Structure 1
Amino acid sequence: MPLLVTSAAGANGDGHGALLAFAPDGQSLGAFSTDRRIADPRGLGVDRVAGLLFLNSGSDRVLALDARGTVVRDSGPIDGLNAGGGNFGADGRYSVGLRSARAIMAFAPALDAPGTLVLPPGIVPFPRGFAFAPDGRLFLASGIGPDGTGDNAIRAFAPNGAPLPRWHVADPELSPLDLILAPTGNVVVSSERPFGAPDAVTTIREYAARDGRLVRVFSPGRTARFLKPRGLRFGPDGHLYCVARDEVVAFDFTTGRCLGAVVTLPRLNGQALAFFP
């Protein structure tokens, strides 16, 4: 199954500014799609039922692509969208993190209607990644923005949007960049602390689904450079994959062992990844 990675462009990453494809052996397959509506792409989400890949474009629009890389759905330009990460909720809607509004907006999978806010504007200083549990709970990483402002926390919300104060992360070494839920239900984040520092400590951190307690820390050791870690995804093999600067790094989630870089590409500057189709 091909691995797809969004590579940031321009001042936001000086990368390829494209949706890139890689073979299972790590070989570069070039751009998955050359559609001009894909600009400085960010978050990705896969609708397995419909067989579509949803992509957040820097052109302030949400796109859905088929297995051939053809855009088959287009939200059209949305003023001020400035979308970051993307994920599907239990209700089947595709949600995106709004970097300027500091909120989350959900769209019907047909992309034929305006989005609706899942959380109100300004809910966190800078949203960095989020995921929905099967019971409707929402976990949102709050990190440092490009301007250096923000906080380092993870918030939990009930299905109705109410905060869950009993779910709390107390981890002074956390500076989250993306967030997903493990098959166990635990919360997993990529972390770079201090954010943006040349000597930042980069890790993957796992927190208990019940209360936010730190469970374990994954470190690349000497098996990968693991600079500027961003998007996270579990692969069909059960391994945990994280896209970083110039590489995609894999971890054995059962043992926590780093398996090294499975993809290397100069100027990758990856933001999100997905296994598709």
Structure 2
Amino acid sequence: MSGLQAVSATLAASTDPVQTVTVTCPSGTELVSAAGSITGALGNATIDDAFPDVARNRVTVTAMVTDPPYATAWRPTAVAYCADDMPGLEWVDARSPYDPRDKAATATCPSNKKLVGTGWSTEDAMGNVLVTGVVPKNGDTTHAADSVTVSAYEESAFVDDAWGVTAFAACATPLTGQRVAVTSTGFDAVDPKLIGVACDPGEVATGGGVSLLAGPAAIGNVVVDDLLPSNLDSGNPPTATNLAAYVEDSPPGDNWTLKVFTLCADG
């Protein structure tokens, strides 16, 4: 692996209830992971998709206001992790059932490869579904993950319509020192919550993830606002993942916690 970097594109702020932005990896690099963020919505918009468009080597982020109208201008940012050479890179996806229930989908790497990046998309959610988890699985602080589970919940005001979620896993030949760094906030009613976790010195971050755990009154009522790498648009490799989440309809009436994951490997 060489030339790892994270690049972004951001829309001009507006009050449009649905906003989409796309960022393309630099020429000569390949897409390794997808992420995104929202600025100015403060829990009133959700990232429906951080879609890794592998054929076009780009990431498209679609964000939607959860309870329109929302009169304040806001804007989404799309983020692509890109590398010159990721050995054995391939993308795997898995789609959930299409129905009106809360759900999850798990994309699993081939047995000879490990997880280096993630992405997600929803179908027919229209801002009424909150992605609460993009979780690397079967890895820990000394071992690489081999899959990613994307989970989503209907927000409290959603009508009983069918929808779906897709998990995307970027998989590659195992990298030296590959592992998952993780940390969590407290389990309380603090709003918003912001947290980050860095790789060790000498390591780089190939992707990131998030998990939101909440009591019954807060499930479907907390929005992941930011999933962002460090060193964004600097040309230098990312080394950390930073998260922010907001209560959509304050107060949540329950405690919740935010967990952040960084996919690390030797630089």
Answer yes or no: same fold by TM over 0.5: no
Q: TM-score under structure 1 normalisation?
A: 0.27
Q: Which has the higher contact order (CA 8 A, sep 6+)?
A: 2
Q: TM-score under structure 2 normalisation?
A: 0.28
Structure ranking higher in strand proportion: 2
